[in-house]
Amino acid sequence: MTRAVVGIIGGSGVYHLPGLENIREERVETPWGAPSDALHLGEIGGTRVVFLPRHGRGHVLSPSGINYRANIDALKRVGATDIVSISACGSFKAELYPGLFVLPDQFVDRTFGRQSSFFGNGCVAHVSMAHPVAPLLAKRIALAAQAEDIAVATGGTYLCMEGPQFSSYAESLTYKAAGYDVIGMTALPEAKLAREAEISYATIAMVTDFDCWHPEHDDVDVAAVIQVVRSNADKASRLLARLIADFPKEHEPCPIGSDRALDNAILTAPEARDPELLKKLDAVMARMSGR
């Protein structure tokens, strides 16, 4: 079996997890360009973990300016079998209040202009995104939260907007009427690229506000978001530390095939594939080598 390596994509606050040992920094080069920052690798209870600050140290990258392909490729190259993504989000439901962690199981993509696939002309692939979240990973996150007495809401739909501006009032009402649960700017194309790279993926969406639909709450602004994120940093660290400490040392097969997503996805015949693109896909397609 493959040794489990948990990738964490989030803010710099998650570097200081209880029990984190053998920390080292590694800069990873990818054929897709530079990732957001250097990776930080370590262990908790013998389980390997790798951290990547999505926006770079000092929060220098906007959601639209993140090189999502390089980030996922870099995590793949250091052996990540699972990715836990942490992101702030707005809520469209009163019961999903600021400070609550939500574990969405569906995504709606309203981004534009982002590179959302490793594949393309010369090697065409279509992976299934019917179930974008790895259920076993999401269950482990929920169990870790329960063990730490941290309230989480399981399931729901995360709408990913382009940003960097927040929603208009009309947009907020439209998304709420559509039945979406939370809104953020970073889960996509992360989830799509993780699926193409055959890495199990789940998101911890931290509710920071009610967007701008709620008549009894102020409209979202950066100050409010930062205040909630900072006040929940310890809670997030405890959740991640518990998750990693309890994580199986060997990667268990994903019940929905996240780790085998390319088995029936590649349409281009082997002899017709672009060798230059295949060079760039060496990490993403490592398991498929020769097929």
What does pLDDT average to over the chain?
93
Catalytic annotation, pick one of 73, 82, 105, 209: 209
Report the alpha-carbon distance of residue 138 to residue 204 in Å, rounded.
9
Per residue in 158-210, pLDDT (tens digit) is 999 999 999 999 999 999 999 999 999 999 999 999 999 999 999 999 998 99
Q: 146: left (phi > 0), else alpha (psi -120 to 50), else beta?
A: alpha
pLDDT of residue 81: 98
Which residue type does 215 have? P
Residue 209 annotated in active site: yes
Query: What one-letter code names the amino acid at 155?
Result: G
Going by their DSSP bridges, the two strands 5-10 and 47-53 should be labelled as parallel
Topology (CATH) of 5-278: Rossmann fold (3.40.50)
pLDDT band at 291 (very low <50, low <70, confident <90, very high): low
The rounded distance, in Å, linking the Cα atoms of 140 and 4 is: 14
| 276 burial level (CB within 10 Å; 0-12, 13-18, 19+) | exposed
Q: Enumerate residues 6+ apart whose C-beta is below 8 A from 13.
A: 233, 236, 237
User: What average pLDDT does range 252-281 have in this prediction?
Assistant: 97
Tell me whether residue 282 is one of the annotated catalytic residues: no
pLDDT of residue 213: 85
End-to-end CA distance of the chain: 20
Q: Which of 37, 73, 181, 211 is flagged as catalytic?
A: 211
pLDDT single digits (tens) 149-160: 999 999 999 999
The amino acid occupying position 276 is E
In the chain, what percentage of residues exceed pLDDT 90? 82
Would you place residue 42 in the very low, low, confident or very high pLDDT band (cuts 50, 70, 90)?
Answer: very high
Find the range with the poorest average confidence among 17-26, 76-85, 91-100. 17-26
Contacts of residue 51, defined as CB under 8 A and 6 or more positions apart, other chains included, come to 7, 8, 10, 14, 15, 39, 40, 41, 42
How far, in Å, CA of 23 to CA of 25, rounded? 7
